[in-house]
């Protein structure tokens, strides 16, 4: 069994955590996969997996080797694709990391992309964690806010606005605030950022010297969908992005508050590892999503510390 087969057997075993499943995917027996991995370990002089009768898990060295090998195999797949003239027909698995809430923007346009490029397998990871694209083998990510990393390229997507919202049932009980100071004594449903654990501040402009608002937080969550549902249920006032609030506002399930006192523009960016030879599957996805979600010019991000994973 050659070294490439050994690398492939190792990567698939690490992906699925099983010789049996890896063998099924590769069209080999579990025994053949296990022997290929063992031979690779012997060649490297290092143990890649910790084995027991019940489990199979990567060693620390195995985890680092796995990420590098997976990128090597992906690059090899892309090289084969170019040799097969796949610039016109991009193919292969496209790994995308995106915030949970962004499915409201992404999913409506994905059917057209998949119909246009049927040989691309889209692998979506809806996760609010800031992944390290290069270390974790992610092809493209969608993120909000500033994402400084000199190893990445970025294209800005649609802008959005944060809105302060409340349900009609809540406003009937507590009244509608007419100015920011009227929020004193109101109940808040607050968002906690998953990565930092910080509570999102409401984007209100208060006169200089004004004391902080005396609202009472009744519920905190790290999922914007849950925050929207809690706000619709009348538990309190919530701060929600406009694209997530659009449907409940149209149905009358929510009303916006203090619009003239809020200035909270934001944006999403499409980011991917910088490379002289961008793979066809990434290139067509970047171009397609950029067109569908209000793209601007493509620019390199300023050099600074790596975004934490």
What are the structural domains, with CATH classification, of the chain? 3-81 (1.10.10.10), 83-151+275-300 (3.40.190.10), 160-265 (3.40.190.10)
* Phi, psi (deg, nearest 5) at residue 129: -75, 140
For residue 110, count other CB atoms closer than 10 A to its CB.
16
CA distance 5 to 26: 10
Least confident of 42-56, 158-172, 293-307: 293-307
CA distance 241 to 239: 7
> Per-residue pLDDT averaged across 269-295, rounded?
80
So what's the pLDDT on residue 149?
59
> Per-residue pLDDT averaged across 149-153, rounded?
68
Per-residue confidence at 275, pLDDT binned at 50, 70, 90?
A: low
Instruction: Assess whether pLDDT exceeds 70 at residue 43.
Output: yes
The sign of the CA dihedral 175, 181, 185, 186 is positive
So what's the pLDDT on residue 145?
67
CA distance 52 to 107: 41
So what's the pLDDT on residue 83?
64
Q: What is the pLDDT of residues 234-245, one digit of tens each?
A: 999 999 999 899
| Beta bridge partner(s), residue 188 | 217, 237
Torsion of CA 6, 12, 14, 19, to 10 degrees: -80
So what's the pLDDT on residue 82?
65
For residue 106, count other CB atoms closer than 10 A to its CB.
21
Residue scoring higher pLDDT (102 or 228):
228
- Tell me what the pLDDT averaged over the chain comes to: 83
Q: Please give the angle made by the CA atoms of 55, 57 and 62, to the nearest 5 degrees.
A: 155
* Phi, psi (deg, nearest 5) at residue 34: -60, -40
Residue scoring higher pLDDT (54 or 82):
54
Annotate 250-272 with three-state secondary structure: HCCCCEEECHHHECCEEEEEEEE
Least confident of 5-9, 114-118, 145-149: 145-149
In the numeric block, which tokens belong to residue 171? Answer: 């406003």
């Amino acid at each position: 069994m050659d070294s490439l087969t050994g690398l492939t057997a190792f990567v698939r075993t690490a992906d699925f955590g099983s010789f049996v499943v890896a063998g099924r995917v590769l069209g080999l027996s579990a025994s053949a996969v296990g022997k290929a991995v063992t031979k690779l370990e012997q060649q490297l002089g290092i143990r890649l997996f910790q084995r027991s009768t019940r489990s199979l898990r990567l060693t620390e060295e195995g985890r680092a080797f796995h990420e590098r090998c997976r990128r090597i195999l992906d690059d090899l797949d892309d090289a084969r694709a170019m040799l097969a003239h796949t610039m016109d027909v991009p193919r292969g698995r496209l790994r995308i990391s995106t915030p949970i809430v962004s499915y409201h923007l992404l999913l409506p346009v994905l059917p057209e992309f998949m119909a246009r490029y049927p040989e691309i397998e889209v692998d979506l990871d809806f996760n609010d964690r800031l992944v390290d694209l290069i270390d974790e083998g992610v092809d493209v990510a969608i993120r909000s806010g500033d994402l400084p990393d000199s190893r990445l390229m970025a294209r800005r997507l649609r802008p959005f606005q944060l809105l302060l919202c409340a349900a009609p049932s809540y406003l009937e009980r507590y009244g509608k605030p007419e100015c920011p100071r009227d929020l004193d004594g109101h109940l808040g449903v607050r968002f906690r950022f998953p990565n930092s654990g910080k509570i999102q501040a409401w984007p209100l402009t208060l006169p200089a010297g004004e004391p902080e608002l005396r609202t009472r937080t009744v519920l905190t969550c790290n999922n914007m969908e849950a925050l929207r549902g809690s706000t619709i249920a009348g538990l309190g006032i919530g701060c929600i992005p406009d694209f997530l609030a659009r449907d409940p506002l149209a149905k009358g399930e929510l009303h916006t508050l203090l619009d003239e006192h809020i200035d909270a523009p934001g944006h999403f960016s499409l980011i991917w590892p910088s490379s002289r030879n961008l793979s066809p599957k990434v290139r067509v996805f970047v171009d397609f999503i950029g067109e569908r979600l209000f793209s601007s010019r493509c620019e390199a991000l300023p050099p600074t510390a790596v975004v934490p994973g």
